[in-house]
Structure 1
Amino acid sequence: MGLYTASDGHVDPYSLTQAIAKGARKYGALIFQGLGVTTLNLREDGRWVVSTTEGDILANRVVNAAGFWAKEIAKLAGSDLPLVPNHHQYLVTSTVPEVKALKREIPVLRHLEGSFYLRMERDGLLIGPYESTHTMRQCEDWMWNGVPEGMV
Protein backbone atom coordinates (compact mmCIF):
# COMPACT_ATOMS: atom_id res chain seq x y z
CA MET A 1 0.00 0.00 0.00
CA GLY A 2 1.35 3.42 -0.94
CA LEU A 3 0.21 6.91 -0.09
CA TYR A 4 -0.14 9.66 -2.69
CA THR A 5 -0.65 13.26 -1.57
CA ALA A 6 -1.16 15.57 -4.55
CA SER A 7 0.12 18.66 -2.73
CA ASP A 8 3.15 16.88 -1.25
CA GLY A 9 6.66 17.74 -2.27
CA HIS A 10 10.16 18.49 -1.14
CA VAL A 11 12.71 21.20 -1.54
CA ASP A 12 16.41 21.00 -2.24
CA PRO A 13 17.85 23.02 0.67
CA TYR A 14 20.90 24.15 -1.30
CA SER A 15 18.87 25.45 -4.26
CA LEU A 16 16.37 27.17 -1.95
CA THR A 17 19.18 28.84 -0.01
CA GLN A 18 20.84 30.03 -3.22
CA ALA A 19 17.54 31.46 -4.53
CA ILE A 20 16.95 33.35 -1.27
CA ALA A 21 20.55 34.63 -1.32
CA LYS A 22 20.17 35.84 -4.91
CA GLY A 23 17.01 37.75 -4.00
CA ALA A 24 18.61 39.19 -0.87
CA ARG A 25 21.66 40.41 -2.80
CA LYS A 26 19.33 42.01 -5.36
CA TYR A 27 17.96 44.19 -2.56
CA GLY A 28 21.34 45.10 -1.10
CA ALA A 29 22.03 42.35 1.42
CA LEU A 30 25.58 41.31 2.15
CA ILE A 31 26.16 37.62 2.81
CA PHE A 32 29.08 36.43 4.90
CA GLN A 33 30.08 32.77 4.78
CA GLY A 34 32.60 30.74 6.70
CA LEU A 35 32.57 32.97 9.76
CA GLY A 36 32.01 31.67 13.26
CA VAL A 37 29.37 33.73 15.08
CA THR A 38 30.25 34.27 18.73
CA THR A 39 27.56 36.71 19.91
CA LEU A 40 24.43 38.47 18.66
CA ASN A 41 23.46 41.71 20.39
CA LEU A 42 20.32 43.71 19.59
CA ARG A 43 20.94 47.42 19.94
CA GLU A 44 18.37 49.96 21.12
CA ASP A 45 18.06 51.30 17.56
CA GLY A 46 16.90 47.85 16.36
CA ARG A 47 20.13 46.96 14.58
CA TRP A 48 22.27 43.95 15.43
CA VAL A 49 25.92 43.68 16.30
CA VAL A 50 27.04 40.28 15.04
CA SER A 51 30.38 39.35 16.58
CA THR A 52 32.26 36.86 14.42
CA THR A 53 35.63 35.17 14.40
CA GLU A 54 36.66 37.85 11.85
CA GLY A 55 35.31 40.89 13.75
CA ASP A 56 31.99 42.67 14.31
CA ILE A 57 29.32 43.31 11.69
CA LEU A 58 26.54 45.88 12.15
CA ALA A 59 23.32 44.66 10.53
CA ASN A 60 19.78 45.96 10.08
CA ARG A 61 18.52 42.38 9.88
CA VAL A 62 20.03 38.97 10.59
CA VAL A 63 18.90 35.82 8.81
CA ASN A 64 19.77 32.59 10.58
CA ALA A 65 20.97 30.36 7.74
CA ALA A 66 23.31 28.30 9.91
CA GLY A 67 21.84 24.95 8.90
CA PHE A 68 23.02 22.28 11.30
CA TRP A 69 24.01 24.97 13.83
CA ALA A 70 20.82 27.06 13.56
CA LYS A 71 19.70 26.13 17.08
CA GLU A 72 23.00 27.40 18.54
CA ILE A 73 22.78 30.67 16.59
CA ALA A 74 19.17 31.17 17.70
CA LYS A 75 20.28 30.80 21.33
CA LEU A 76 22.72 33.69 20.79
CA ALA A 77 19.71 35.85 19.87
CA GLY A 78 17.72 34.69 22.90
CA SER A 79 15.46 32.35 20.91
CA ASP A 80 14.94 28.62 20.89
CA LEU A 81 14.40 26.67 17.69
CA PRO A 82 12.60 23.37 18.30
CA LEU A 83 15.18 21.30 16.41
CA VAL A 84 16.52 17.88 17.37
CA PRO A 85 19.51 16.64 15.36
CA ASN A 86 19.34 13.00 14.32
CA HIS A 87 21.01 10.62 11.93
CA HIS A 88 18.84 9.55 9.00
CA GLN A 89 19.88 7.00 6.41
CA TYR A 90 19.05 7.42 2.74
CA LEU A 91 20.41 6.27 -0.59
CA VAL A 92 20.78 8.38 -3.76
CA THR A 93 21.22 6.62 -7.08
CA SER A 94 23.30 7.84 -10.00
CA THR A 95 21.47 8.98 -13.13
CA VAL A 96 18.57 6.74 -14.14
CA PRO A 97 17.91 7.28 -17.90
CA GLU A 98 14.14 6.82 -17.50
CA VAL A 99 14.07 9.42 -14.71
CA LYS A 100 16.25 11.83 -16.70
CA ALA A 101 13.86 11.54 -19.68
CA LEU A 102 10.83 12.61 -17.63
CA LYS A 103 9.33 16.01 -18.42
CA ARG A 104 8.15 16.66 -14.87
CA GLU A 105 8.87 15.46 -11.37
CA ILE A 106 7.15 12.31 -10.18
CA PRO A 107 5.21 12.42 -6.90
CA VAL A 108 6.90 11.42 -3.68
CA LEU A 109 5.95 7.82 -2.87
CA ARG A 110 5.51 6.96 0.78
CA HIS A 111 5.18 3.23 1.42
CA LEU A 112 3.94 2.94 4.98
CA GLU A 113 3.88 -0.86 5.20
CA GLY A 114 7.33 -1.10 3.64
CA SER A 115 8.44 1.81 5.83
CA PHE A 116 10.22 3.88 3.19
CA TYR A 117 9.80 6.81 0.83
CA LEU A 118 11.03 7.31 -2.74
CA ARG A 119 11.39 10.52 -4.71
CA MET A 120 13.34 12.02 -7.56
CA GLU A 121 16.73 13.52 -6.79
CA ARG A 122 18.03 15.38 -9.83
CA ASP A 123 18.29 12.70 -12.57
CA GLY A 124 18.12 9.77 -10.15
CA LEU A 125 16.16 8.55 -7.17
CA LEU A 126 16.41 9.03 -3.43
CA ILE A 127 15.21 6.19 -1.20
CA GLY A 128 14.93 6.66 2.55
CA PRO A 129 13.62 4.35 5.25
CA TYR A 130 11.37 5.44 8.06
CA GLU A 131 13.54 4.29 10.92
CA SER A 132 11.86 2.99 14.02
CA THR A 133 12.42 4.65 17.36
CA HIS A 134 14.72 1.70 18.11
CA THR A 135 16.97 2.28 15.08
CA MET A 136 16.85 6.07 14.57
CA ARG A 137 19.76 7.64 16.37
CA GLN A 138 18.78 10.90 17.93
CA CYS A 139 21.80 12.82 19.09
CA GLU A 140 20.76 13.74 22.61
CA ASP A 141 24.21 15.12 23.40
CA TRP A 142 23.89 17.47 20.42
CA MET A 143 20.38 18.44 21.51
CA TRP A 144 21.48 19.40 25.04
CA ASN A 145 25.07 20.56 24.40
CA GLY A 146 24.92 21.78 20.81
CA VAL A 147 26.24 20.38 17.55
CA PRO A 148 30.05 20.21 17.68
CA GLU A 149 32.00 22.59 15.46
CA GLY A 150 33.22 21.09 12.20
CA MET A 151 30.39 18.54 11.89
CA VAL A 152 28.54 17.91 8.62
Structure 2
Amino acid sequence: MPPTTNTNIRTNKYQYLQESVHYHVQCSRKIIQNLKTESIDPVLKDKLCQIWQIESAWFACIRCVPDLHRHDGQFLSEEILNNWTQLSNQFSAYVWSLNETRMNEVVHVYIPGILDFYMPRFNLIQICIDHSKIHHEQLSKLLVNPESDFKF
Protein backbone atom coordinates (compact mmCIF):
# COMPACT_ATOMS: atom_id res chain seq x y z
CA MET A 1 0.00 0.00 0.00
CA PRO A 2 1.47 3.44 -0.93
CA PRO A 3 2.08 5.89 1.91
CA THR A 4 -0.75 8.23 2.72
CA THR A 5 -0.51 11.98 2.25
CA ASN A 6 -0.28 12.32 6.02
CA THR A 7 2.74 9.98 6.08
CA ASN A 8 4.39 11.91 3.25
CA ILE A 9 3.90 15.17 5.12
CA ARG A 10 5.48 13.71 8.26
CA THR A 11 8.38 12.28 6.28
CA ASN A 12 8.95 15.58 4.47
CA LYS A 13 8.79 17.46 7.78
CA TYR A 14 11.38 15.09 9.25
CA GLN A 15 13.69 15.43 6.22
CA TYR A 16 13.36 19.21 6.34
CA LEU A 17 14.40 19.19 9.98
CA GLN A 18 17.44 17.02 9.25
CA GLU A 19 18.45 19.33 6.39
CA SER A 20 18.03 22.35 8.67
CA VAL A 21 20.31 20.73 11.24
CA HIS A 22 22.90 20.00 8.55
CA TYR A 23 22.77 23.67 7.49
CA HIS A 24 23.04 24.74 11.15
CA VAL A 25 26.23 22.73 11.64
CA GLN A 26 27.78 24.05 8.41
CA CYS A 27 27.03 27.65 9.41
CA SER A 28 28.43 27.08 12.88
CA ARG A 29 31.65 25.67 11.48
CA LYS A 30 32.12 28.59 9.08
CA ILE A 31 31.48 31.15 11.80
CA ILE A 32 33.84 29.37 14.20
CA GLN A 33 36.55 29.24 11.52
CA ASN A 34 36.18 32.98 10.97
CA LEU A 35 36.24 33.71 14.68
CA LYS A 36 39.36 31.58 15.15
CA THR A 37 41.23 33.56 12.49
CA GLU A 38 40.37 36.91 14.03
CA SER A 39 41.68 38.20 17.31
CA ILE A 40 38.52 38.57 19.35
CA ASP A 41 38.07 41.99 20.92
CA PRO A 42 36.36 42.26 24.33
CA VAL A 43 33.05 43.57 22.93
CA LEU A 44 32.74 40.69 20.46
CA LYS A 45 33.83 38.19 23.11
CA ASP A 46 31.16 39.43 25.52
CA LYS A 47 28.41 39.18 22.89
CA LEU A 48 29.67 35.77 21.82
CA CYS A 49 29.43 34.57 25.42
CA GLN A 50 25.85 35.84 25.67
CA ILE A 51 24.85 34.02 22.47
CA TRP A 52 26.67 30.88 23.66
CA GLN A 53 24.76 30.87 26.95
CA ILE A 54 21.37 31.22 25.24
CA GLU A 55 22.08 28.61 22.57
CA SER A 56 23.49 26.07 25.03
CA ALA A 57 20.45 26.57 27.29
CA TRP A 58 18.06 25.74 24.42
CA PHE A 59 20.04 22.64 23.49
CA ALA A 60 20.14 21.56 27.12
CA CYS A 61 16.33 21.84 27.14
CA ILE A 62 15.99 19.06 24.63
CA ARG A 63 18.68 17.12 26.47
CA CYS A 64 20.64 16.53 23.28
CA VAL A 65 23.88 17.54 24.94
CA PRO A 66 25.32 16.84 28.35
CA ASP A 67 25.08 19.79 30.69
CA LEU A 68 28.02 21.70 29.29
CA HIS A 69 29.72 23.74 31.95
CA ARG A 70 28.42 27.24 32.38
CA HIS A 71 30.94 30.01 32.38
CA ASP A 72 31.29 33.53 33.65
CA GLY A 73 32.59 34.89 30.35
CA GLN A 74 36.15 35.04 31.65
CA PHE A 75 37.69 32.00 29.98
CA LEU A 76 39.69 31.93 26.76
CA SER A 77 37.85 32.53 23.51
CA GLU A 78 39.40 29.34 22.09
CA GLU A 79 37.49 27.37 24.74
CA ILE A 80 34.21 29.05 23.76
CA LEU A 81 34.80 28.20 20.11
CA ASN A 82 35.74 24.58 20.78
CA ASN A 83 32.70 24.09 23.02
CA TRP A 84 30.44 25.68 20.41
CA THR A 85 31.67 23.22 17.79
CA GLN A 86 31.04 20.38 20.26
CA LEU A 87 27.54 21.72 20.95
CA SER A 88 26.65 21.86 17.24
CA ASN A 89 28.02 18.39 16.56
CA GLN A 90 26.11 16.86 19.46
CA PHE A 91 22.89 18.59 18.42
CA SER A 92 23.27 17.28 14.89
CA ALA A 93 24.03 13.72 16.05
CA TYR A 94 21.03 13.84 18.38
CA VAL A 95 18.57 14.91 15.65
CA TRP A 96 19.91 12.38 13.16
CA SER A 97 19.54 9.59 15.74
CA LEU A 98 15.81 10.22 16.27
CA ASN A 99 13.18 8.28 14.39
CA GLU A 100 9.84 9.86 13.49
CA THR A 101 8.06 8.33 16.47
CA ARG A 102 10.52 9.90 18.90
CA MET A 103 10.32 13.21 17.00
CA ASN A 104 6.60 13.39 17.72
CA GLU A 105 6.86 12.56 21.43
CA VAL A 106 5.79 15.30 23.80
CA VAL A 107 8.68 16.44 25.99
CA HIS A 108 8.93 18.56 29.10
CA VAL A 109 10.85 21.79 28.53
CA TYR A 110 12.22 23.06 31.79
CA ILE A 111 14.69 25.74 32.79
CA PRO A 112 14.14 26.60 36.48
CA GLY A 113 12.39 29.93 36.86
CA ILE A 114 12.32 30.57 33.09
CA LEU A 115 10.54 27.83 31.12
CA ASP A 116 8.15 25.08 32.14
CA PHE A 117 5.91 23.61 29.42
CA TYR A 118 5.31 20.56 27.24
CA MET A 119 5.53 20.36 23.45
CA PRO A 120 6.32 17.87 20.68
CA ARG A 121 10.06 17.24 20.36
CA PHE A 122 9.92 18.21 16.66
CA ASN A 123 8.59 21.67 17.53
CA LEU A 124 11.21 22.16 20.22
CA ILE A 125 14.02 21.19 17.85
CA GLN A 126 12.61 23.59 15.26
CA ILE A 127 12.64 26.39 17.86
CA CYS A 128 16.28 25.58 18.64
CA ILE A 129 17.17 25.74 14.95
CA ASP A 130 15.28 29.04 14.48
CA HIS A 131 17.06 30.60 17.47
CA SER A 132 20.36 29.30 16.18
CA LYS A 133 19.74 30.92 12.78
CA ILE A 134 19.19 34.24 14.54
CA HIS A 135 22.45 33.75 16.43
CA HIS A 136 24.32 32.92 13.24
CA GLU A 137 23.07 36.17 11.69
CA GLN A 138 24.11 38.08 14.80
CA LEU A 139 27.57 36.53 14.77
CA SER A 140 28.01 37.29 11.08
CA LYS A 141 27.15 40.95 11.72
CA LEU A 142 29.46 41.05 14.73
CA LEU A 143 32.35 39.75 12.63
CA VAL A 144 31.87 42.70 10.29
CA ASN A 145 31.22 45.26 13.02
CA PRO A 146 31.96 44.20 16.63
CA GLU A 147 30.42 47.44 17.92
CA SER A 148 27.02 46.70 16.34
CA ASP A 149 24.11 46.45 18.74
CA PHE A 150 21.69 43.55 18.69
CA LYS A 151 18.81 42.34 20.78
CA PHE A 152 18.15 38.77 21.87
Tell whether the structures are fold-level matches, with TM greater than 0.5: no
Of structures 1 and 2, the one scoring higher in RCO (CA 8 A, sep 6+) is 2
Question: Computing the radius of gyration over CA atoms, which structure comes out larger, 1 or 2?
Answer: 1
TM-score (norm 1): 0.29
* Structure with the larger helix share: 2
